[in-house]
Structure 1
């Protein structure tokens, strides 16, 4: 299967790494965090005008954090989808935010910040949305250790 977007990016000198296709035959690309702003603009101009989902996860065995984005391109007989993975070190996890390119990523980038501690540089209102501001740890990191306390069960 031909990697259409990857070939276009190579032709235009955009640095990336093709990870091939996933089980659903969706092209997957890996890019550097420092290149994300410019690549996001390129993808938008190229026609990837809708961001379907963004998620983040802790890459086993706990070395990197990944922000994983999927987009659908409209205007073709068959919509094209691509997956972009941006890896960042866990010690200082920073990724440029792309809310200004795709407005639908607003809540999803905040959730990645809240649960994994990924900072989205220059994000206008980055805040915790699922757990209290006072919480120190990142709940979805593989090295998270649950506090040693017990809930009162069946208290009436």
Structure 2
């Protein structure tokens, strides 16, 4: 199935859209170019034979010590009863003032809204075009992104010791 979807994306969007397929996992993963993410998402949602109408999860991965992150999208087609994993990899220098960024897919799948906010809040992935990208679990003035592998726990918050 994954090679069929890859071939459809290449034929309709272009060869540059697909980076590679990883088949060594429990479920194969299609890695795509961030620049083509929204176009691919719309294609996967609206194309007969794909119709991935349900985004069940968005997660972020930190490949520390490498300067690399990934965002993983778990998709399902309810009518076709199939599942599919899409992944975007991002190179970044890890500086807090230069967050890794990819386009938001919240206009394609509404469930992406809160999932992307969580990935922003805890991993520091910036989703361009997101309608309301702000922290969802931590206070607005929290420093850093706690799920990054190089995150150092704060000792205090507003003068209160954290243990």
Q: TM-score, normalised by structure 2?
A: 0.81
The question of whether the paired residues in 2 share the 8 Å contact of 1:3 and 1:27 is answered with no
- Determine the structure 2 residue equivalent to 1:38: 39
The question of whether the paired residues in 2 share the 8 Å contact of 1:30 and 1:86 is answered with yes
Give the structure with higher Rg (CA). 1
- Determine the structure 2 residue equivalent to 1:86: 88
Stretches of 4+ aligned residues off by more than 6 angstroms? none
The question of whether the paired residues in 1 share the 8 Å contact of 2:154 and 2:162 is answered with no
The question of whether the paired residues in 2 share the 8 Å contact of 1:53 and 1:69 is answered with yes
- Determine which of 52, 67, 71 is the counterpart of 1:67: 71
Task: Give, in whole Å, the separation in 1 of the partners of 2:43 and 2:20.
Answer: 16
- The 3 A distance-change label for structure 1 pair 2 and 95 is closer
Q: TM-score, normalised by structure 1?
A: 0.84
- Determine the structure 1 residue equivalent to 2:137: 130
- The 3 A distance-change label for structure 1 pair 2 and 66 is closer
Task: Give, in whole Å, the separation in 2 of the partners of 1:2 and 1:94.
Answer: 26
The question of whether the paired residues in 2 share the 8 Å contact of 1:67 and 1:85 is answered with yes
Name whichever of 58-67 and 125-134 sits farther off.
58-67
Task: Give, in whole Å, the separation in 2 of the partners of 1:130 and 1:81.
Answer: 28
- Determine the structure 2 residue equivalent to 1:19: 21
Aligned residues: 149
- Higher relative CO (Cα under 8 Å, sequence separation at least 6) belongs to 1
Q: CA-atom RMSD, angstroms?
A: 2.1
The question of whether the paired residues in 2 share the 8 Å contact of 1:56 and 1:116 is answered with yes
Displacement of 1:112: 0.2
The question of whether the paired residues in 2 share the 8 Å contact of 1:51 and 1:71 is answered with yes
Q: Which runs of 5+ in 1 are unaligned?
A: none
